[in-house]
Chains A and B, each alone.
Chain A
Amino acid sequence: MMSPSVIFIAILLLMSAAYYAGRKRALAVAGSRAGLARMHSRPTYYGLLTAMWCGIPALLVFSSWSVFESGIITHLVVAGLPDAIRDLPADRLNLVVNDIRNLVSGNIVSADIDQTMRSAADHYLELQAISHASLAVVILAMTMAAIAILMRIIAPGLRARNQVESIIKWILIACSTIAIFTTIGILLSVLFEAIRFFEKISITEFLFGLKWSPQMAIRADQVGSSGAFGAVPVFAGTLMISAIAMVVAVPVGLLSAIYLSEYADRRFRAVAKPLMEILAGIPTVVYGFFAALTVAPLIRETGIGLGLDVSSESALAAGLVMGIMIIPFVSSLSDDVINAVPQAMRDGAYGLGATKSETVKQVVLPAALPGIVGGVLLAVSRAIGETMIVVMAAGLAANLTANPLKTVTTVTVQIVTLLVGDQEFDSPKTLAAFALGLILFIATLILNVIALHVVRKYREQYE
């Protein structure tokens, strides 16, 4: 059985074999200690060079083969299906292909498997076996050829170290470009689906419509599933919850940063700072559970005690807990910024007779303001993109309301509800999630770029 993982391990083994072969060859070419000194590089580098020439092309072939294999095999299997099945509409055909794949991997649930499916699955397995075998042959041939060539060209004049180093450098460059590819990947994946969504629903309706109810009617006479995609209530809910979070996080975070950097002695700081950072390390799902189980009922009972009508999934509970989560974020960013204000400015204020709080309020804070604003913007972007707390503690109903005691929904909640579970990939319902994702990505991107720019400018000012 030539499964891909066996082939992968074989490549690694061949690489190490190649390393030893190359090293041994270099030692043999050198002959003696004196000969070793005449070699351009140390024997290790000849070994490494052999291993790289043997392994890197093989790994590249292996990975591209794995990427395209299933697509090509599926294509061939579909081409071999009876005409009656091939003429099905695209989505039905997809289901058939899925069934065949399930049959191949052996996790079929339904008991009745008809003959065409069985033979298609056998065809699939057969093609897969051929593909794996030919991959093994190709890779073996490539590695052997590479080793054979290297054995011949290893000579005292071969600049093995320089070649190895330049290959490593290219690998480093390739790794560092992954960040760019990730960004492009994110942009393309949300953009394509979002464009498909906007072909069905106009952008203006999406951005300015006041009604959000993404359930599409299956039958024409169905009640309550109009399929309205006006996202304003969703945006409003996101903004409200983020605003509540900011109302909690900014004052508390800022004041604690001020206290820690201006007033606290070293010992207090050494204890309090790590403790506050624990808050930042708690997983958001834990906050969500806490919000849904403890905070929301607490708020509801208090509200009912005061004679208010509080929804059990109120925006207040989600926003409050999200605010707690963001406190350490605001406080550590502001702490950095406040510490960057030169001591000379404080000394100047003290010299004029200002008290400590007057110095903070009239000298330090104005000087640190751009940095603090940058930090707050980053915190806002964090709040907008936060998912688990709102999924667990905020609701699904898209109410357009300004009352924080009512249920609202957010962009991230909608993305999760629309995409979790079974989904067809063409319905506006699923595509709407990507449109929301695009808006979320753009909004946070703009906030981040502004914030990072402001913070960087501010740092330069005092350096």
Chain B
Amino acid sequence: MNNATANGLPPGRRAIDIVNAGLSKRYRRERRFRLYGISAILASLLFLSFLFGSIISKGYTAFQQTFIRLDIFFDPAILSQESLTTANYPGVVKQSLRQMFPEVTTRQDKRMLYGMVSNDAAFQVRKLVLDSPEMIGQTLPIWVAADDDIDMLMKGHFDLDVPESERRINDVQLAWVDRLQQENRVEKRFNRTFFTAGDSREPEQAGILGAVMGSFYTLLVTLLLSFPIGIASAVYLEEFAPKNRWTDLIEVNINNLAAVPSIVFGLLGLAVFLNFFGLPRSAPLVGGLVLTLMTLPTIIIASRASLQSVPPSIREAALGIGASKMQMVTHHVLPLALPGILTGTIIGMARALGESAPLLMIGMVAFIVDIPGGLTDSATVLPVQIFLWADSPERAFVERTSAATIVLLAFLIVMNATAVILRKKFERRW
């Protein structure tokens, strides 16, 4: 083999030998590279399951709440018929607590005792009395919500090994709880308040309904504006626009807006909608306007892709039988592109539902107890509620934050699943 020397190889060694010598090393490298790839994927999936695991394990307990059974004596001395709406209902609750623990005498101990049930108990009693005033004079067992510290204790979130002075619950209260438990007066039940109440400073009275309604109104505005406007822009750019500088400018703008940080849209909302047009702060109307501007690029891009996938033959056939260009679009192209447009819209809405940064700028972070009933009421949205609760120091709010997150993620999963099903069902290969 004289060629070998001619190729610059040392005499006696063939090219195949060199290849063979390096082969096992190369194969090892190949396997290693493959391993990097698969471990990258596994790492991200591990993050995902860690995140879900951590949130679900912290949050699922919030769907239950500890209740205490009190024997409430509807004392006619306190509840006189004339002033039933303004009577001293907390006094009724306190009185029955004192009767259950007659040994409690000092002021300090009494305050601790009263602190075991939620403030909500008084409102509960008030509602009962107003609904059926014939109860007055009787003693009835009534389940009232426990205070959040007791709730946390029952759910096992307190480490009882720490010294008493560092605990939120002291040994006296522990003894009371034990006694209540022995008398079967403590029970964990489904936490309805969490789904039917607005925000509150007291964890056991705090719920997500206010935030959910706020999100609903905000998304309603967003959907009503961004869906028609998005389709209109996509139809114009895809079907009518001449190819010139002007339409190029619009295209570049849309692509850029899709990548502008969301907080910048919040600055726009603050400067333009609130300060220039004088729209109300914290209102779902303004939130919806800001989110519309934010989701429009997403919807336009998705709608254009969907319009592009309708084959030209459909257009030519429509034009061929004498339809005008507008009729071709509205009668043929748009209906065929609609599933894709809807998918894009749902994905855009899902993103808007999870968005919070721009809404912080327009004041949707206020502490709002009332459940919003319209587009201009003060409101907050679900992600911002999560943000607000995440800042609260009480242990019980950690659990509620996680539970609100679970609800938010459930909404998002439903929306995205709808989008996927829609795509699968109506996807057409031309």
Contact = CB atoms under 8 A, between A and B. Distances in A.
Contacts of B37: 255-256, 258-259, 262-263
B380 interface: no
Nearest to B236: A172
Interface string A375-396: 0001001101111100110000
B196 interface: no
**Majority DSSP secondary structure for residues of B touching A:** helix
B387 A175 contact: no
A185 B292 CA distance: 14
A445 B260 contact: yes
B303 to A, nearest CB: 11
B270 interface: yes
Nearest to A254: B40
A284 B383 CA distance: 9
A129 to B, nearest CB: 18
B373 to A, nearest CB: 14
B48 A416 contact: no
A441 interface: yes
A368 B386 CA distance: 40
Given A186-B267, A378-B259, A381-B259, A259 B41 contact: yes
B160 interface: no
Contacts of A397: none
A415 B263 contact: yes
A89 interface: no
Contacts of A198: none
Contact of A185 (B272, B360, B401, B416): B272
Interface string B381-402: 0011011001000000010011
**Which of B33, B34, B241, B408: most chain A CB closer than 10 A?**
B33
- For A67, A182, A292, the residue with the greatest tally of chain B CB atoms inside 10 Å of its CB is A182
Contacts of A387: 261-263, 357, 360
Contacts of B201: none
B27 interface: yes
A127 interface: no
A6 interface: no
Nearest to B357: A387
A420 interface: yes
Nearest to B353: A283
Interface in B87-118: none
Interface in B276-312: 277-278, 293, 296-297, 300
A279 B54 contact: no
Contacts of A260: 41
Contacts of B250: 176-177, 179-180
A440 B264 contact: yes
Contact of B387 (A193, A263, A288, A331): A288
A385 B261 contact: yes
A71 interface: yes
B355 interface: yes
B271 A290 contact: no
Interface string A280-298: 0111111111101110000
B421 interface: no
Contacts of B324: 161, 165
Given A176-B236, A293-B398, A358 B26 contact: yes
Interface stretch (A202-210, A215-223, A227-235, A349-357): A349-357
Interface string A340-360: 000000000000010111101
Interface stretch (A17-25, A76-84, A270-278): A270-278
Given A278-B48, A415-B267, A292 B33 contact: no
A292 B43 CA distance: 20
B275 interface: yes
Contacts of B232: 171-172, 175-176
Given A175-B232, A276-B41, A416-B357, A186 B54 contact: no
Interface string A174-199: 01111110110110011011000000
A189 B256 contact: no
B360 to A, nearest CB: 6
B356 A190 contact: no
A84 B60 CA distance: 60
B6 interface: no
Most buried by B among A67, A180, A259, A328: A259
Contacts of B293: 178, 182
A251 interface: yes
B356 A186 contact: no
A275 B237 contact: no
B253 interface: yes
B54 A290 contact: yes
B369 interface: no
A88 to B, nearest CB: 20
A448 interface: yes
Interface string B233-255: 10111001100000001101111
B55 interface: yes
A425 interface: yes
B412 interface: yes
Interface in B6-43: 19, 26-27, 29-30, 33-34, 36-41, 43
A392 B48 contact: no
A327 B264 contact: no
A449 interface: yes
Interface string A419-461: 1100001000000011001001100110011011000000000
A412 B278 contact: no
A284 B354 contact: yes
B172 interface: no
Interface in B56-71: 58
Contact of B326 (A169, A278, A324): A169
B365 interface: yes
A328 B48 CA distance: 11
Contact of A256 (B44, B275, B278): B44
A175 B250 CA distance: 11
Contacts of B405: 286, 289
17 contacts: A175-B232, A175-B236, A176-B232, A182-B268, A189-B271, A190-B267, A255-B37, A256-B37, A258-B37, A275-B45, A276-B44, A285-B390, A290-B51, A356-B30, A385-B264, A387-B261, A434-B267
Interface of A: 67, 70-71, 161, 165, 168-169, 171-173, 175-180, 182-183, 185-186, 189-190, 192-193, 251-256, 258-260, 262-263, 272, 274-276, 278-279, 281-290, 292-294, 324, 327-328, 331, 353, 355-358, 360-361, 378, 381-382, 384-388, 391-392, 412, 415-416, 419-420, 425, 433-434, 437, 440-441, 444-445, 448-449, 451-452
Given A180-B249, A293-B54, A441-B260, 7 more contacts: A183-B253, A190-B267, A193-B271, A286-B383, A294-B54, A357-B29, A388-B356
The 9 residue pairs across chains A and B that have the minimum distance between CB atoms: A385-B261, A259-B37, A283-B354, A189-B271, A175-B232, A255-B40, A357-B33, A387-B357, A172-B236
